[in-house]
Amino acid sequence: MKHVARAIVLSIGLAAAAPPLWAAEPLVGLWRLQRQEVNGTPTEFQPLTLQISQNGDRLRFAFSVPMPDIYFVTISYTLRLDGSSADIMDGTNQKAGTIQMTRSGPGQYQLTMKGPNKPDTQGKIAISADGKTLTVESDATQSGRTAHSKQIFARN
């Protein structure tokens, strides 16, 4: 009986000391839009919050706008960083397109977004070295014109 008790205590101790299967991604957190540019020109923007959470190997992105007493989620998606396709859902939980994302380096991510009646978008996300700034850059071509957009978020 003593050996069984020791084995249980030892296994609990080893399980507690083991690192988690998936380390938290540096982009996990609450972010607020600070600046937005299109083709290098600053543009006006409405307040926007990005909540990124992690559950195992899945990341959930939820973009929301503040409304009186609530934050209304306008776009959300849950994905893996393996390049597999995930659905982009709008605020009414209707599919608005798909996204694929991969990790391209420490704090660096590549993405592709596709949707009906929208140009395919290639982009990248980068976390600053101090972990306080998230930059999203993307390029899309529609009707022969390419647009480069950049959004800068600050960690809340």
Q: For residue 18, is pLDDT > 80?
A: no
Please give the CATH topology (third level) of the domain spanning 22-155: Lipocalin (2.40.128)
Return the percentage of the chain with pLDDT > 70, whole number: 86
| Average pLDDT for the chain | 87
Express each pLDDT in 106-118 by its tens digit. 999 999 999 998 8
Tokens of 66: 């503040």
CA distance 98 to 12: 41
Mean pLDDT of 118-147: 94
The single-letter code of the amino acid at 125 is: I
Is the predicted pLDDT of residue 11 greater than 70, yes or no? no
Q: Domain-by-domain residue ranges, the chain?
A: 22-155
Strands 70-80 and 41-42: unpaired
Q: SS3 for 23-81, per residue?
A: CCCCCCEEEEEEEEEECCEECCCCCCEEEEEEECCEEEEEEEEEECCEEEEEEEEEEEC
